[in-house]
Amino acid sequence: MSITTLYYLQQKKENAHDDSIWCCGWSKIGTDKQKNEENNDMSQDYDNPQEISENYIITGGLDDLVKIWQIDNGKLELKHKLEGHSLGVISVVVSPDGKTLASSSQDSSLILWDIASGDKLKSFETGTTDVWTLDFSPDGKHVISGSNAGKILIFSVESGKQEQTLDTRGKFTLSVAYSPDGKYIASGALDGIINIFDVAQGKLVHTLEGHAMPIRSLCFSPDSQLLLTASDDGHMKLYDVVHANLAGTLSGHASWVLSVAFSPDGKRFVSGSADRTVRVWDLDSMQCQNVFKEHTDQNSSILFKKENAHDEPIYCCAWTRTCITNDPKGPSKEFILTGALDGLVKVWMFENNKLELVHTLVGHCMAVVSIAVSPDGHSIASTSLDSTLIVWDLLSGNKVHEVETSVTDVWKVTFSPDGSQVATGSHTGKVVVYDIRNVCIFDVVQGKLLHTIEAHRQTVRSIAFSPDSKFLLTASDDGTVKIYDVASANPCGAVEHKSWAVCAVFSPDGSRVATSTSDGSVRIVSLDGLKVLNTFREHVDTVWGVHFNAKGNRLLSVAKDKSLIMYECPIPPKSTVKK
């Protein structure tokens, strides 16, 4: 007779942070009863001095805070609010003894805290890199960090100094993990590559290439024999650590797999996904045992919404009106373009408030992260995590050109309205502007470099030219949207956000800017004083793209929640437009 394990929701805390929660941890700290009894001879529990224990849950959010919650009598009470980071907290990890907490932030800082008191113990120097992931060594003597710099740093907890560096060969590291026996460190990268290092020798021993998309999480089994990996491709994989053999592939989530962890006995593991489910898996059968779902329903007045426009989260979009004949004065139609994690570009015709799929463009083998439309509206340029730039004919859907860029971190490409310049943005925070007047649009290698702007300290997610080509708009993970003069490269203003600024575009008349963020919000900002005109919160996850229609009276947004939303946004009176 088989025994079924019962799982149920025990505790739920609404609005635990003022912004999105990105990371969490769990700590159990024992309390020495001998100290509490103060040598009371009547105590009968000296054989078990740590019978009393306190449970804590740690959360880190985009509100820059780390919070420590105490579980007491089935209730979650806030015990400490840790202030020390100046940008969103993206990783927290608890030491093996449960007493120390390490946190990292988009501000490049790494801080150690005492969980019981909430005191800051140490701050580590990590340079100017984004520290995306942390882990403690099994003995608690070291903490490791992974970043966009392509290196894993190993710090001494006692001295606070960096003791060792592991080279990931330039890979943007999203996840790291120590093996429980302390012999290995595994890292997962933005391009889907997994590295396994021998800690004692400080050498790379295995490189695994089973995933095609970013590795969000990985962990070792309790006996250190297996490595479990989770990826944006929606799959999990198990590897034999010693021989680097693939032991199995697990599927079931409908979106990114964001986190995985083994049970203490190694018989089960859990996975969390962007599809808003948590799944429990049996290791022996490799089957899912339980699925936990949380639904979010929102009611609002919107113009148009297309559910499940792609099978995976949508990364980018564009909106254009294109003449459908050879005569420039002939009839034209509106087209909406979307690119997603499924590697596809889709061309939709928007007519009579209906969205009809016209083309599904197949050519990329990894996520499509940027789409641009040529000034005449007839060509589409798309870039992907597979390092390719493809130019398509919008009306026929045919592939016109394909270019291998050999660069995996150019997250945004855009063209100036006059077609003479192209700008790129990457995770380094730099914005590069090229003169392409005398070369093909897709060939920027031979172009003349005009400016390199040290625009942001974090990844540049979006760039856009103003309609008159005089200004450049940038959006970054540092939460700012900035405006630059193209001719001089001088800054002209900035708009602050509480979370990642993911996308920013100009309205067709240049009077407004639309921005989107990782907390699911969309803003419309007037360039006259940079005043916020509207804020929409219809999405429940990161809004990857926004785009105005040709008239500027409607706005389109696409998000990680797989939805496409259209808004009415009336053009403000001329008097409010800054000259």
Looking at the fold, whether 285 and 340 belong to one and the same domain comes out as no
User: Is the residue at 346 inside a domain?
Assistant: yes
Structural domain boundaries, residue 181: 175-186+208-295
How many whole angstroms separate alpha carbon 496 and alpha carbon 525? 11
Does residue 227 carry a pLDDT above 90? yes
Looking at the fold, whether 505 and 364 belong to one and the same domain comes out as yes
Looking at the fold, whether 136 and 219 belong to one and the same domain comes out as no
Task: Output the pLDDT for position 424.
Answer: 54
Looking at the fold, whether 318 and 396 belong to one and the same domain comes out as yes
Q: Which of 517, 410, 476 is nearest to 191 (CA)?
A: 410
Poorest-pLDDT segment among 19-33, 304-318, 367-381, 531-545? 19-33
- Residues 418 and 404: beta-carbon distance below 8 Å: no
User: Is the residue at 38 inside a domain?
Assistant: no
User: Is the residue at 135 inside a domain?
Assistant: yes
Looking at the fold, whether 90 and 158 belong to one and the same domain comes out as yes
Task: Output the pLDDT for position 575.
Answer: 42
Task: Output the pLDDT for position 397.
Answer: 94
Looking at the fold, whether 332 and 423 belong to one and the same domain comes out as yes
CATH assignment of the domain containing 116? 2.130.10.10
Looking at the fold, whether 270 and 413 belong to one and the same domain comes out as no
Core vs surface per residue 329-367: b (16+ CB within 10 A) or e = eeeeeebbbbbbbbbbbbbbbbeeeebeebbebebbebb
Per DSSP, what are the bridge partners of residue 433? 423, 451
User: Is the residue at 342 inside a domain?
Assistant: yes
Looking at the fold, whether 473 and 541 belong to one and the same domain comes out as yes
Confidence at 437, pLDDT banded by 50, 70, 90? very low
Helix, strand, coil % over all residues of the chain, rounded to 5? 0, 55, 45
Looking at the fold, whether 308 and 289 belong to one and the same domain comes out as no
Looking at the fold, whether 286 and 411 belong to one and the same domain comes out as no
- Choose one of 232, 263, 295: the last residue of a domain: 295
User: Is the residue at 194 inside a domain?
Assistant: no
Q: Domain total for the chain? A: 3
Task: Output the pLDDT for position 507.
Answer: 93
User: Is the residue at 48 inside a domain?
Assistant: no
CATH assignment of the domain containing 291? 2.120.10.30
Over the stretch 379-419, which tens digit does the pLDDT of each residue have?
Answer: 887 878 777 777 788 999 998 777 665 555 556 666 565 55
Give me the mean pLDDT over the 138-150 stretch: 88
User: Is the residue at 286 inside a domain?
Assistant: yes
Looking at the fold, whether 237 and 89 belong to one and the same domain comes out as no
User: Is the residue at 523 inside a domain?
Assistant: yes
Looking at the fold, whether 255 and 377 belong to one and the same domain comes out as no
Give me the mean pLDDT over the 181-193 stretch: 91
314 vs 13, which has greater pLDDT?
314
